[in-house]
Amino acid sequence: MQIHLAEKFKWRRVGKAVVIEGKVLYPGTFTGIDGNTISYPAELFKNGNIEIINRRIKYMHKETDEAVVGFITGYVLKPDGLYIRGYIFDEAVAELVRNGDVKGLSMEAEVDVDAENTARKVSISAVALVPDPAAPKAKVTRTKVMTLLRRNTEKPVRSMDNMAEQVAEQKKPTREEFFKWIHEQLKKAGIEEADINKIMEVLKAAIKTPYPYPYPKPYPQPEQVKQLEEEKKRLEEEKAKLEAKIKELEDKIKLMQAEFEVKQMAPDINVQEIYGEQDDVETKLAKLEATKKLIKERKVKLEVAESNKDKFEQVVEKVCLETFGKPLDEILREIGGE
């Protein structure tokens, strides 16, 4: 594309890029959106088998040019995880990150795993900004605003300056224009040309299909929400049935225990005649309890009566001995009694 401009213009402020730092991956086991669960052992972060082969920073996991919002400028491996540093040029995304609305980091990578699904080597092709990463602690930990262009004196506007105007007006550049614009901004930011060339090489590298890697948790779609609600309702109904069954069994146990206690107190009693078939459990228990009380009272009365009888017989026996000098049984035999 060739642009020929004869007029002179003042530069317009493009906006501010955001420098980010954060943790992308750390030892642990994570499940991606594809259902694959991979373990990342601590040894992986010590033996250097994690590398970044493509330095793109994307907004969400989308395979489009527009999804690229920045690039990684450096990374470091520590025992507790992989840390990155990079720039975000997209103003809207930068604002989301600065406000904390989107701060999760989710890698796209080719992961070499063993038979137990444990990672042996990780080759990262991109890092995406997402609201809810699969690895919960993978997120942006620090941000810093960096001004890309400042208002300057009048001078001829070059091709990429025209690109800056497009960005300021929220126009989407082509892929080639975007890469040229990044090159210009890096140069103006004071980054060495050798580093710029390396960055541009990785940015222009062919997009590889990342598999497998920890995707962010998917947002439920309306049909998924409906299915989840139906499943929740089904489980709640099943739970209610089980709770009712448990209560029924507990009531039966209570009833059997009460009947057993009554039978122990009065073996000849028919416990089924104590209550009616239509009585509920609480009524049956109440009637059994009342029966036990009556049995106890009756037993006490019988014991008292028996005790009084014994005392009467003892008095008669004493009178017979003192009066006739003979026990009652002998006197009854003599007079023909029983």
Interval 154-167: pLDDT, tens: 444 344 444 444 44
Q: Which residue has the higher pLDDT, 44 or 331?
A: 44
Q: Containing domain of residue 97, as a range?
A: 8-204
Q: Is there a single domain that holds both residue 160 and residue 244? A: no
At 274, the amino acid letter reads: I
Q: What pLDDT sits at residue 4? A: 44
In a domain, 65, yes or no: yes
**Domain total of the chain:** 2
pLDDT given for residue 189 in this prediction: 78
- Per-residue model confidence (pLDDT) at position 221: 60
- The answer to whether residues 113 and 14 belong to one domain is yes
Q: Say whether both 113 and 163 belong to one domain.
A: yes
Q: Are residues 199 and 281 in the same domain?
A: no
User: 304: pLDDT confidence band, cut at 50, 70 and 90?
Assistant: low
- 214 occurs within a structural domain: no
| Range of lowest pLDDT (4-13, 22-31, 38-47, 105-114) | 4-13
The strand order across the sheet containing 119-130 reads: 104-113, 119-130, 50-59, 68-78, 81-88, 16-25, 140-147
Same domain for 257 and 140: no
Structure tokens at 300: 């006490």
- pTM flag (> 0.85): no
Q: Which DSSP string do the residues of 104-140 spell out, in sequence order?
A: EEEEEEEEEE-TTSBEEEEEEEEEEEESS-SSTT-BE
148 shares a domain with 13: yes
CA–CA separation, 1 and 138 (whole Å): 41
Q: What angle do CA 317, 323, 328 make, to 5 degrees?
A: 30
Q: Could you give the CA distance from residue 311 to residue 305 in angstroms, rounded to a whole number?
A: 10
Residue bearing the bigger pLDDT, 297 or 59: 59
Percentage of the chain beyond pLDDT 70 is: 74
Same domain? For 193 and 239 the reply is no
pLDDT at 171 over 60: no
pLDDT (mean) for 121-149? 89
Q: Are residues 130 and 23 in the same domain?
A: yes
Predicted confidence (pLDDT) per residue in 244-285, tens digit: 888 888 888 888 888 888 888 888 888 777 877 788 888 888
Instruction: Say if residue 286's pLDDT is above 90.
Output: no
81 within a domain of the structure (yes/no): yes
Q: 49-74, pLDDT tens digit by residue?
A: 899 999 999 998 888 888 899 999 99
State residue 116 phi and psi, 5-degree precision: -95, 15
Confidence band, pLDDT 50/70/90 cuts, at residue 222: low
Q: Are residues 199 and 233 in the same domain?
A: no
Highest mean pLDDT among 122-131, 167-176, 224-233, 266-275: 122-131
Instruction: Say if residue 143's pLDDT is above 50.
Output: yes
Nearest to 289 by CA among 281, 301, 278: 281
Q: Does 326 have pLDDT greater than 60?
A: yes
On whether residue 14 sits in a domain, the answer given is: yes
pLDDT of residue 73: 92
Within this chain, do residues 232 and 154 fall inside the same structural domain, yes or no? no
What is the torsion angle, in degrees rounded to the nearest 10, for the CA atoms of residue 75, residue 77, residue 80 and residue 84?
10
Domain assignment present for residue 3? The answer is no
* Residue 213 lies inside a defined structural domain of this protein: no
Average pLDDT over residues 281-297: 83
> Which residue among 142, 170, 204 closes a domain?
204
Please give the pLDDT value at position 251: 87
Q: Is residue 333 part of a domain?
A: yes
32 vs 221, more confident = 32
Q: How far is CA 246 from the centre of its chain?
A: 29
Residue 88: predicted pLDDT: 93
Whether residue 157 sits in one domain with residue 249: no
First to last CA, the chain: 142
Selected residue with higher pLDDT from 7 and 178: 178
**Domain-embedded: residue 245:** yes
Same domain, 158 and 262: no
| Average pLDDT of the chain to the nearest whole number | 78
